[in-house]
Amino acid sequence: MLNEIRTIYLDSDLNIEAYRFKGIMQKFPAHFHEYYVIGFIEEGQRYLVCKGEEYIINPGDLLLFNPYDTHSCEQIDGKTLDYRCINVTSEVMKKLVLEINGNDDLPCFKPSVVYQSDLVPSLKELHLKISQNESDFQKEELFLYFMEELILTHSDLTILPTAAETSLEIQTVCSYLEENYTKTITLNDLSALTGWSKYHLLRSFTKQKGLSPYSYLETIRVNHAKRLLEQGVKPIEVTFLTGFSDQSHFTKFFKRQIGLTPKQYMRIYLND
């Protein structure tokens, strides 16, 4: 079709693929993949057969295909399909489970379709961050949280509870974030500080501080940005003085926390 969009994003940070199909009518005959496919329907209605089971899938439905799950699908509403998915190899999945559980057992997702899944918004957010090449820190944090919930809720693996930790390591991470907020920081950096896995760090930090490491970092940046804006420093300059990747990202996060854009906030002090 003339208006079809078929895009593949290769994310070298997460080592996964992200597919986007928009405006397609293609029928997919029975086939399988050697990797996990985790996707969702945005628009359109399809008839799906997976492992001999029949489904009618609609927008908001989550699709979970294990490696070698045979499946086929076709459009049944006369309209076009909009679809997004991520593809995760077994090697990447093993590393992920090792981070989360301390072993490299591969999960087997039980349902092929989760109707109107609460996890779809998180998957869409992750997909958008991959396609827009957003912050590695935030993207990896979201990926770990999403996959943890997915494995816990819809696979045959049991995720072991995180042991309680003292606040010493958490304070070390907080101090590092406060002293290095203008720099590019990764989960690997924070993991190395504590000697914990990235997953263990995320869970322990969030439990003790009430927000994730990335949200903590962005809050520090916003607080410093407020002080600069109060002094009349232009938002474009503040963006890079406080470690934000670009002005759009800065404006979005600032408004979400403060309720005003950086320019609106600065004008309050200029008019005093």
Q: Tell me, what's the pLDDT at 165?
A: 60
Residue bearing tokens 């759009």: 248
Nearest to 28 by CA among 73, 78, 83: 73
- Domains along the chain with CATH numbers: 5-154 (2.60.120.10), 162-272 (1.10.10.60)
The token duo for 98 is 């090792």
Residue 87: its pLDDT value, please? 97
Instruction: Calculate the alpha carbon distances from 235 to 29, 47, 225, 232 in Å.
Output: 52, 50, 8, 9
pLDDT averaged over every residue in the chain: 91
Residue 163 has pLDDT above 90, yes or no: no
Euclidean distance between CA atoms 197 and 256, whole angstroms:
30
Decide if pLDDT at 176 tops 80.
Answer: yes
The residues, any chain, with a CB within 8 Å of residue 32's CB and separated by 6 or more, are: 65, 67, 68, 69, 70, 71
Element (H, E) at 190: helix 187-194
Decide if 179 contacts 224 (C-beta within 8 A).
no
Q: Taking the model in full, what pTM does it have?
A: 0.86
Answer yes or no: are the C-beta atoms of 135 and 249 closer than 8 Å.
yes
Residue 164 has pLDDT above 80, yes or no: no
Where does the pLDDT of residue 1 fall: very low under 50, low under 70, confident under 90, or very high at 90 and above?
A: low
What per-residue confidence (pLDDT) applies to 67?
A: 96
